[in-house]
């Protein structure tokens, strides 16, 4: 039995990364690209990870090229060379879920299959949070390399807001053969750049797909309860997401999105689809987010995102006309969280369009819509930093200094 996480909204509440939610009236069926099997099915095939690995391809050749050599090579390589250089760094991740498969008395548990990649030589493996979120035993996650060798790993850090998690392999023999993939600069990506994804769609290990960067700076809703298939509650959104037409299917989650030099520019995480399978619109967490969050997860186990504590909507032409704006730009604050950073600094919301503050800029950077505010706050700020918001209130431009707080946990905010 295969299950999908189906995210299907009549009203999608897209939250500011640092706020509670932003209201948008659009239905987007997102599918988180992990793969779930009946555990009995896995037992029936003895070891799906090992059997797939041995039958799908010959164990990889060992290449001497290190991550540093790959990252310093500015010349695109062939697809064959790219796969040969990186396949041993991409792994399959499987975990038995805590929830019973059929009912509370059922002895069977579903198994989630996803992907991941080697981050460093200290045993760190990066994957998606939703791949391991429901793991029954966080210290016993199976990680299988492309040569079929499987090792136990434990979860050492998670961040549900960015959908990132870090596993650690203790086995010294495994660490000796681990080749980290170099992490690139996703701000250097352009629409039309060629990329490849390597992962384990539908459990088919070592699969490579080719595509291009289809869009940049997308917003991806964060599921408030990733452990519950079909849950459709959202409180926040992740900004700066990469859109790609590279084929991404269930099982690809957590695998690397690579440029044509074998450098990680993202981590595949979800697809937009009416069926749950590839429809030409996939999404990846950008590598700059990985570079910012993963080192903290390794050291501290969690990551604190800065938090503003407001909700509202983008200014539309109708709103602009009603309050006398010459153009539709800015973010209209509807609600302010009690005791949050925005309320403390004096930001005002309102149940009428003429009452709420309109955020026009942050630290002198124009805010035309919520995406601009989200991207700036996530990429350029941190908890405790004071920012300057330029707002429009009752026809008057004001500037308010706001000290960002730490975002509350997702379950509490939902």
pLDDT in tens, 84-127: 999 999 999 998 887 766 666 667 778 889 999 999 999 999 99
Compute the distance between CA of residue 309 and CA of residue 339 in angstroms, rounded to an integer: 9
Superfamily of domain 306-413: PDZ domain (2.30.42.10)
How large is the average pLDDT for residues 149-176?
94
Residues in Cβ contact with 316 at an 8 Å cutoff, skipping those fewer than 6 apart: 328
Name which of 183, 148, 203, 156 is nearest 35 in CA terms. Answer: 203
User: C-alpha distances in angstroms, 286 versus 135, 164, 220, 265?
Assistant: 25, 11, 12, 6
pTM passes above 0.95 = no
139: pLDDT strictly greater than 70: yes
To the nearest 10 degrees (0 to 180), the angle between helices 287-300 and 370-380 is 50
Per residue in 258-302, pLDDT tens?
A: 999 999 999 999 888 777 667 889 999 999 999 999 999 999 999
9: pLDDT strictly greater than 70: no
Domain boundaries, the chain: 3-300, 306-413
Compute the distance between CA of residue 149 and CA of residue 168 in angstroms, rounded to an integer: 16
How large is the average pLDDT for residues 184-190?
95
User: C-alpha distances in angstroms, 29 versus 11, 65, 127, 265, 268?
Assistant: 11, 41, 22, 25, 17
Residues in Cβ contact with 46 at an 8 Å cutoff, skipping those fewer than 6 apart: none
Which is more confidently placed, 104 or 168? 168
User: C-alpha distances in angstroms, 179 versus 11, 53, 66, 152?
Assistant: 44, 18, 7, 17
pLDDT of residue 256: 97
Are the CB atoms for 217 and 200 separated by under 8 Å? no
DSSP 3-state of 117: strand
Give the residue numbers annotated as catalytic, written as ranges. 130, 163, 253
How large is the average pLDDT for residues 175-198?
95
Domain 3-300: which CATH number of 2.40.50.180, 2.40.10.120, 3.30.1490.20, 3.30.930.10 = 2.40.10.120
pLDDT of residue 31: 55
């Amino acid at each position: 039995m295969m299950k999908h996480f189906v995210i299907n909204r009549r009203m999608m509440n897209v939250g500011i990364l640092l706020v509670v939610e932003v209201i948008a009236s659009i239905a987007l069926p997102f599918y988180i690209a992990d793969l779930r099997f009946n555990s009995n099915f896995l037992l029936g095939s003895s070891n799906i990870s090992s059997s797939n690995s041995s039958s799908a391809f010959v164990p990889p050749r060992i290449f001497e090229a290190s991550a540093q050599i790959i990252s310093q090579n500015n010349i695109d390589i062939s697809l064959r060379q790219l796969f040969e250089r990186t396949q041993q760094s991409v792994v399959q991740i499987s975990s038995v879920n805590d929830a019973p498969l059929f009912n509370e008395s059922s002895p069977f548990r579903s198994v989630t299959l996803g992907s991941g990649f080697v981050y460093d030589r200290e045993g760190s493996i990066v994957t998606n949070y939703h791949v391991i979120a429901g793991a029954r035993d966080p210290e016993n996650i199976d990680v299988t390399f492309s040569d079929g060798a499987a090792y136990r790993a434990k979860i050492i850090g998670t961040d549900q807001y960015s959908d990132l998690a870090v596993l650690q392999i203790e086995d010294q023999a495994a660490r000796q053969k681990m080749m980290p993939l170099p992490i690139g600069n996703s701000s250097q990506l352009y629409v039309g750049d060629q990329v490849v994804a390597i992962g384990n769609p539908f459990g088919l290990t070592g699969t490579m797909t080719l595509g291009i960067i289809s869009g940049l700076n997308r917003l991806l809703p964060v599921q408030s309860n990733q452990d519950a298939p079909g849950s459709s509650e959202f409180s926040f959104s992740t900004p700066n997401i990469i859109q790609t037409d590279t084929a991404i299917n269930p099982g690809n989650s957590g695998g690397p999105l690579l440029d044509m030099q074998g450098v990680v520019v993202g981590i595949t995480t979800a697809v937009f689809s009416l069926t749950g399978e590839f429809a030409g619109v996939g999404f990846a967490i950008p590598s700059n987010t990985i570079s910012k969050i993963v080192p903290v997860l390794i050291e501290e186990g969690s990551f604190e995102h800065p938090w503003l504590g407001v909700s509202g909507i983008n200014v539309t032409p109708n709103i602009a006309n009603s309050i006398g704006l010459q153009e539709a730009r800015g973010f209209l604050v509807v609600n302010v969280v009690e005791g949050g950073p925005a309320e403390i600094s004096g930001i005002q919301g309102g149940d009428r369009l003429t009452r709420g503050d309109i955020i026009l800029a942050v630290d002198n950077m124009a805010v035309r819509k919520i995406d601009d505010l989200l991207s700036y706050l996530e990429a350029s700020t941190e908890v405790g930093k004071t920012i300057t918001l330029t707002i429009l209130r009752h026809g008057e431009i004001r500037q308010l200094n706001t000290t960002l707080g730490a975002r509350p946990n997702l379950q509490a905010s939902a």
